[in-house]
Amino acid sequence: MEIKGVIKLINQTQTFDSGFTKREFVVTTDETYPQHIKCELVKDKCSVLDSYSIGDSVSVSINLRGNEYNGKYYVNIQAWKIEKIETSTSEPIMENQSDDLPFWETNNILKQIIKVFDVDTKKIKAVKI
């Protein structure tokens, strides 16, 4: 499974008495109703987050892990791969955008169509679009 969004929170690595380590982080999805999804990295994967910052757009590959402890059931979202998503903010800005072509451009296009398709101009009827 995969989650795409922006990193909202990165916690420090937690080390337990057993030697087990995990590091939690939160990804906020870009949806109509954004979700704040807490994921975790375990063992040697904890250091993967060192190269990421809060606000980075990422794609996180996850596995759902479930377990039972003392009659209660728990679900963890375990990340196994994180990739940065490059966001393009430099769109060309065009002034005076319009769906209508100026008359002379429309006229030139029609002339080219007539030449290419060898259309008999006497048979062309005006069509209102």
Map out the domains of the chain as residue ranges: 2-84
pTM comes to: 0.65
What pLDDT does 64 receive?
Answer: 95
Give the span between the Cα atoms of 125 and 50, in whole angstroms.
Answer: 69
Closest C-alpha to 86, from 109, 65, 108, 57: 57
Residue 43 and residue 21 in contact, taking contact as beta carbons nearer than 8 Å? yes
Any residues with CB less than 8 A from the CB of 49 and at least 6 apart, and which? 10, 23, 25, 41, 82
- In this prediction, residue 39 carries a pLDDT of 96
Of 60, 61, 75, the closest CA to residue 27 belongs to 60
CATH of span 2-84:
2.40.50.140
Q: Per residue in 97-121, is it b (16+ CB within 10 Å) or e — as a string?
A: eeeeeeeeeeeeeeeeeeeeeeeee
With a cut of 50, list the residues of the chain below it in pLDDT.
92-94, 101, 104
